[in-house]
Structure 1
């Protein structure tokens, strides 16, 4: 399958199927274990090189690496300079930089942004599904390709996918991928993490203006990797 580049597709907005709830400070706590995962990029690079040389993935080429995380308590030691958001009602949790503030992002269940750079933000949405696991949707490369092509990109945007990763935590599978959406006057780069649980298809997106991506990429990758579904 060809790389996901130079695509022009309709935009479809995803949203929570439950009403937007009021933020409850009782749901916020230092909650997630610190974890690392193996990248599935086609070429090994140093951390510095990875910021400057991102290669689009060719679908169907190469092995995609799965990392198995050790099971650990949701209420484990947190990460420095990050604040955990825990939603026990809707069944998910993730970290965000501790100086970010919450805000309303239409069609999303939770969202946080940088105080001074609002385009640097994270948000989570979910929709109902009868699937039990991401693997039921098909091969990972096809699932991600179709998601970016049909859900994320607007008609005027050209999407490119740079990296895809799979991880397994407590028996649940997660896909995390890096992509950008480019239009004539603006480009935005982001990580997205998707997972299925509780009869819901969860999507976390954390991104920034493309011009700032090299500076904040590693910080935002922590957010993407921290997303975890909780049983409800």
Structure 2
């Protein structure tokens, strides 16, 4: 497994043009971002600035700009962690671990989903869409792909998006990229890990979510889920 540094290049081509990615944040009633928006780093330096009266500023964390990486482990390649259950979908070609006290539930347009028994927003879910790409790097630079994923797919127009960390790993001939990010609106904030991979003519996306308060307590538990996501040939 190898991790590589990322540096935001702000390429002009977006993931939406490369791949027809539907909006993934249905639980928060998102809509696609307008073409014009404002991107800022946490220090306040404007990266791209175009006016739009309906869009709040999108904040990209300093950790993303400096490509701070968090350590990754191949969970499924090791002994199953205590208090986790393996979910393996041999038909659709992916697997991951989730906490043993979570319950499966239906989440719109997703292939699998599990949630905390008490907090529905505390959950993991996986979906995939067709693609002619062979690898995530075929989508373009990972800094731009991840930035577009967070700001144009997962965030709503009334949210501020802060990218906290990004990481690449390679395992079994498959490449993965994971991003940790925070979405904040007037009434609440949520934090997430999202992991992407391409295999079997499919673009897979896993997202692990919790509200801001629970994230502080359960982040490491949720990181195990994000690190465990793997795709397999079918």
Please report the TM-score for the alignment, with normalisation by the length of structure 2.
0.71
1:105 counterpart SS class: coil
The match for 1:56 is 62
Tell me how far apart the structure 2 counterparts of residues 130 and 12 of structure 1 sit (CA, whole Å).
16
Which residue does 1:26 correspond to in 2? none
State the distance in 2 between where 1:68 and 1:97 align. 17
Gaps (5+ residues) in structure 1?
A: 4-10, 16-54
In structure 2, what is the equivalent of residue 116 of structure 1? 118
Aligned partners of 1:173 and 1:195 also within 8 Å: yes
Counterpart Cα distance in 2 of 1:64 and 1:80: 25
Which structure 2 residue ranges, 5 or more long, are not aligned?
Answer: 1-7, 11-20, 26-60
Q: In the alignment, what sits opposite 2:164?
A: 162
What is the aligned length? Answer: 182
Q: Normalized against structure 1, the TM-score is what?
A: 0.71
CA RMSD of aligned residues (A): 2.7
Could you list the runs of 4 or more consecutive aligned residues of structure 1 that deviate by over 6 angstroms after TM superposition?
A: 63-69
When residues 130 and 68 of structure 1 are mapped into structure 2, their CA distance, relative to the original with a 3 A threshold, is farther
Kindly report which structure 2 residues correspond to 1:38-77, keeping only aligned pairs within 5 A, or say none. Answer: 56-59=62-65, 61=66, 77=79
C-alpha distance 149-183 of structure 1, shift in aligned 2 (>3 A): same
Q: CA deviation at 1:77?
A: 3.4
Secondary structure of the 1:84 match is strand
Pairwise mapping of residues 29-44 of structure 1 onto structure 2 (< 5 A)?
Answer: none
CA distance, structure 2, for counterparts of residue 224 and residue 121 of structure 1 = 11
Q: Aligned match of 2:140 in 138, 141, 148?
A: 138
